[in-house]
Amino acid sequence: MSIDSSTARPTTRRPASPGPEFGQALLPGTETGTEGMRQRLMILRGRLERCATVLRAHKEIATRAPRTDALALDLVRDDQRLLRDVQQCDDEAGEIDDVLIEFFEELMAGDLKSVRRRQEAERLSGQIGVSPLYSPGWNSVDEISETFAHASSPLLSVEGGSLFEPTALFVKRYAEHATFTRTMRKDVILWLAALWEVVIEALNGPLLQEPTLMDLEGIDELHHSQFEQLIADLLDRDGYRIIRSGGGAGDMGADVLAADPLGRFVMVQAKHFTGGGGSVGQPVVQHLYGGAMATHPSTLPVVVTNGRLTGGAKGWAAEDFRARLIGREELRRWAENGESLESVLKGTGPA
């Protein structure tokens, strides 16, 4: 018997009939927020690990070529167990795929201000919900099951457990169906592996990172490059798209260049002093302002420091609202208290 190889696995999944090892709830979750989502992903990871373990246990059977000259009852029973576990793991993978779709829909329906997190959610959600191409055996799962059941029938067995007088046609069909079952196992393993990658990347990547917060004491101990990264993380937290982080030759005074949701540039000069014991004067603000205007007239220049702002810097920046200044107290509100940049800047000039 042949099966059309051009067909794919049916998109309508058969009703699940999980055994005891598959019967636990997928997402019991009592926690809410980021920690609740992390717990839910951990549960899904455990389900994927369990399915992978079940299918790995059939490795010896799967690598053994079906006999085409005779049948043996013990081998038939092995194939029956393999088919059962392949079907159960396929159902499990389908359920996990559905749950992940709901997970990402729920996540993106929330207030994902962080551009980095939103992009990660969109990337990972694009990797699920698309039924993988399956081998043609999936179109005849019921027929394969009937073949195995007939081969294990006591009516065909004699004392000693061996089968007798199966027709050559039946033996050929059995071998073909056993081969299909082994290929189906590979299909499910590939699907589980794809889901595993999504879950692990969601757990270990930026998706579930807590909003950036740091107290002034911790900020005072940072290296200058870490201070620049903190500013970039705070901007990302508040919904800005980071274009460049880290200053260097030709940066026109900008250590961080970002864009707000409307595409307007924000150019940040970071001035860090160990222990907070330094000051930023007027020349720094002037240099940044010149670079901002050369980038685009609508660019917002912002100087951020954990030190002190001199009177000259404040006076020059305030004239015609040339630049915005975030000193030690504003930095505390932004980084330690979690206020948005927009809120912090309201007291330093027009929003």
117 touches 207 (CB < 8 A): yes
Render pLDDT for 98-131 as a digit per residue (tens, 0 to 9).
999 999 999 988 878 899 999 999 999 999 987 7
Work out whether the CA dihedral 263, 264, 269, 274 comes out positive or negative: negative
CB neighbourhood size of 89 (10 A): 26
Q: E strand or H helix at 40, and its extent?
A: helix 33-56
Higher pLDDT, 142 or 8: 142
182 touches 136 (CB < 8 A): no
Render pLDDT for 238-281 as a digit per residue (tens, 0 to 9).
999 999 998 665 567 789 999 998 999 999 999 999 999 999 99
pTM of the full predicted structure?
Answer: 0.78
Given a cut of 90, whether residue 152 has pLDDT beyond it is no
Rounded Cα distance between 258 and 267, Å, is 7
**300-305 and 279-280: which strand pairing?**
unpaired
Confidence of residue 232 (pLDDT cuts 50, 70, 90): very high
Q: What is the DSSP string of 293-341?
A: HHH-TT-EEEEEESSEE-HHHHHHHHGGG--EEE-HHHHIIIIIS---H
Q: What is the DSSP string of 58-87?
A: THHHHHSPPPSS--BHHHHHHHHHHHHHHH
Render pLDDT for 268-314 as a digit per residue (tens, 0 to 9).
999 999 999 999 999 999 999 999 999 888 999 999 999 999 999 99
